[in-house]
Amino acid sequence: MEGFGIEAGSWLRPEAATVFGEAAAAYAEHRPGYPQAAVRWALGDVCRPGVRVLDLAAGTGKLTEALTLFGADVVAVDPDPAMLAELRRRFPGATALRGTAERIPLPDAGVDVVLVGQAFHWFDRETVMDEIRRVLGPAGQLAALWNLWDDGQAWVRGLAEATGNEITVSAWRPQAVLPGHPGFLPPERGDFAHEQRRTTESMMGTVATYSYVIGLPDDQRAAYERRVRAYLRSCAVTRGGSFSLPHVTTVVRTAVSTPRPAGRPGA
């Protein structure tokens, strides 16, 4: 069975587990959130108060924030202590646990839904599908969400080129980010348009949270920032210093198809 994904295999890098930690506060401030319509669709038939949701690779809590508005009972799991600290600062009452997608610190059938925001492409996907199936209940659901720049407009394509951002609508291709798995139904996809208001400085704050920017040596980072600022000054849409950056939140969801096989680790 073919899944859905982003055609960018270089994104599958193990250092992602902690690469964002040094930019945790900026990540919380500048990364876009998720529109309520997208989260509601991700939850599907189980969108109700009290539904048990695992926010896997929760980061600073972008999805956790959206889920609390639905009255969900959320457990946030992330491998990076700095990201979790920021999540706990923003949501003092949240249940936040350190762990990885490959070894989730929850019991068998412990949640109704697993949601993954902007992170599934980092996972060891074959291992993760087994582990997610383990923690889901018999009618469980899984959804992965990505905020993609909507580069249907020329100026957004130019900004993507200037910033090196490949997380765009045009880069999205049917590929196995959610791989076929005997415990899950074939995936389906939904797309939800929204915008993020940006200024020149907040746009610079956004790109500073990208994994490939965080690790740049000082001289290369300075050159990168000069290039991005030059584009923002030259583009008619952005040169005024305030603009709306169009996004599409793409959601890929699936549901449990069969009981978890006996003898699986953790059974």
Question: pLDDT at position 266, please?
Answer: 40
What confidence tens digit (pLDDT) does each residue in 49-89 have?
999 999 999 999 999 999 999 999 999 999 999 999 999 99
CATH number, domain containing residue 182: 3.40.50.150
Residue 61, domain member (yes or no): yes
Residue 114, domain member (yes or no): yes
What confidence tens digit (pLDDT) does each residue in 98-108 have?
999 999 999 99
What confidence tens digit (pLDDT) does each residue in 186-242 have?
999 999 999 999 999 999 999 999 988 988 999 999 999 999 999 999 999 999 999
Provide the percentage of residues in the chain whose pLDDT is more than 90: 75
What's the rounded Cα separation, in Å, for the pair 54 and 71? 13
Q: What's the domain range around 190?
A: 5-148+167-194+248-255
What's the rounded Cα separation, in Å, for the pair 130 and 181? 8
Residue 95, domain member (yes or no): yes
Q: What total number of domains does the chain contain?
A: 1
Residue 126, domain member (yes or no): yes
Q: pLDDT class for 20, splitting at 50, 70, 90?
A: low
Residue 264, domain member (yes or no): no
The pTM (predicted TM-score) of the whole model is 0.88
Which tokens hold the place of 222? 């300075």
Is the pLDDT at 10 greater than 90, yes or no?
no
DSSP class per residue in 61-110: THHHHHHHTTT-EEEEEES-HHHHHHHHHH-TT-EEEE--SSS-SS-TT-
Residue 226, domain member (yes or no): no
R_g over Cα of the chain: 18
Residue 204, domain member (yes or no): no
Residue 141, domain member (yes or no): yes
